[in-house]
Amino acid sequence: MKTSLLLLLSISALLMNVQAADSKIASGTVNALGVDLYHAQAHGDGNLLLSPYSIQSALAMTYAGAAGDTQAEMQRVLHFPADDNALHESFSVLGQALAQTAKKTVDRIAESKKYGGPSTPIEFDLANRLFAQRGYDFRPSFLDLVKERYGAELEQMDYKTDPEGARKTINQWVEKQTKEKIRDLIPAGAIKHDARLTLVNALYLRAPWSDEFNAKATTKEKFLVHGRESAEVPMMQKESHCGYARREGFQIVTRPYVGGELQFVILLPDDPAGLAAMEKQLTPKLIEDCAHLSSQKVILHLPKFRLEPPTIPLGEDLKALGMKTAFDDPKGSANFDRMAPRRPNDYLYISAVLHKTYLALDENGTEAAAATAVVVAAGMAMIKQPPPVEVRVDHPFLFMIQHVPSGACIFIGRVTDPR
């Protein structure tokens, strides 16, 4: 008897020191897998957008049900520690820290408005849910863990007789949680009658700049599309204090969102055609370093852009990284016994991992969205300031949205054509 389980994570449009320390396990795994999948997806010269936090959170919930060789394999590929409790606790703390990032800005905005500061707080909403087959024998310990650590409530579904209805229900939930930025996350046919569970995480992010760009200063400037052909695009301009560093062959600029706990990171190669070479230097350590750059006055020219790529299948990338038995390769090898009892003729396995994203950046800030679906089936002091640095982002670049206290990469991508 075949049974499928779909795990979905959706993230829309992008603490204290103790909390930051506790979240380091989760943020470390997010960044490490993010680098792996970025390298796997960075073929060709097109735009790219992923949410490492979305993907890893979804897989962490799935991992909670893995056992035996499948558990060991997922632990290795996903960069998870041996201590499961520490892992899930860390994801819980990181989720709370991200939620608190938004709540903190509400009070700060009320005060700053008195002095003409930013007037819009960050919106950062996280939600998890389990869409489970009615009557299926899921282990209470698994359901309790994902509810306690990830806040995932259980909703009964009937995949057996109405898989298409279940797909529409899940997609509608995702659309609502992401303010309709992620539509049709799960494509037609992705959920079949053998589905048994869909784990869903939704996140919505709207992050205003701490110091907005003046729309009147936005002008048409040249951008070397794909590092080759010149095109005029709307280019924002602003002189302000930013994080700044120069590395061999590229510059890094970080620009804070209101509240300062989230930032937009730009990695710009010196060579207009040097994006691919720079991407090879992308490591979890580099991502972590971006959270601790020295501040400097920067004159920044940054193109407005909007990315809305189609759903990306990540299953083959994860298998290539070594996570094979989770996908029941070879047949009969998947083991999710900690999720539901494994029987010879009824066991769970991942049949697909689907990911969808959205990001729009303009003078006011950033709105971002992403969604990941994992389908599991069963088979059988005063210092003289240096002059400002002028940075023209007029050719392909890599970018991130980063949670500064933890260093976690919420979104990562590249822009080769901002049009």
pLDDT digits over 24-63, tens only? 999 999 999 999 999 999 988 899 999 999 999 999 999 9
Domain with CATH 2.30.39.10 in the chain: 215-304+382-415
**Do 332 and 2 meet the contact criterion of CB atoms below 8 Å apart?**
no
Domain with CATH 3.30.497.10 in the chain: 3-208+307-378
From first CA to last CA, the distance across the chain in angstroms is 49
What value does the mean pLDDT take over residues 345-362? 89
User: Does pLDDT of 15 surpass 50?
Assistant: no
240: Cβ–Cβ under 8 A, 6 or more apart, which residues?
211, 255, 297, 298, 300
Cα–Cα distance measured from residue 161 to residue 130, given in angstroms and rounded to the nearest whole number = 19
What is the architecture of the domain spanning 3-208+307-378? 2-Layer Sandwich (3.30)
* Nearest by Cα to 266 from 124, 389, 100: 389
Between residues 48 and 383, the one the model is more confident about: 48
In this prediction, residue 381 carries a pLDDT of 43
Cα–Cα distance measured from residue 33 to residue 58, given in angstroms and rounded to the nearest whole number = 12
In this prediction, residue 11 carries a pLDDT of 32
In this prediction, residue 28 carries a pLDDT of 97
User: Does pLDDT of 278 surpass 90?
Assistant: yes
**The domain made up of 215-304+382-415 is a member of CATH 2.40.30.10:** no
Q: How confident is the model at residue 374 (pLDDT cuts 50, 70, 90)?
A: confident
User: Does pLDDT of 370 surpass 90?
Assistant: no
Of 234-238, 239-243, 383-387, where does mean pLDDT reach its minimum? 383-387
Q: Give Cα separations from 263 to 207, 257, 370 (angstroms).
A: 9, 5, 17
Percent of the chain with pLDDT over 90: 69
User: Does pLDDT of 324 surpass 80?
Assistant: yes
User: Does pLDDT of 186 surpass 60?
Assistant: yes
User: Does pLDDT of 383 surpass 50?
Assistant: no
User: Does pLDDT of 281 surpass 50?
Assistant: yes
Q: Give Cα separations from 3 to 9, 131, 143, 191, 345 (angstroms).
A: 20, 14, 18, 11, 10
The sign of the torsion formed by the CA atoms of 281, 285, 291, 292 equals: negative
Q: Are strands 295-303 and 389-392 parallel, antiparallel or unpaired?
A: parallel
User: Does pLDDT of 213 surpass 90?
Assistant: yes
User: For the chain, what is the mean pLDDT?
Assistant: 88
Cα–Cα distance measured from residue 270 to residue 287, given in angstroms and rounded to the nearest whole number = 19
Task: Output the DSSP codes for 376-392.
Answer: EEE-----PPPPPEEEE
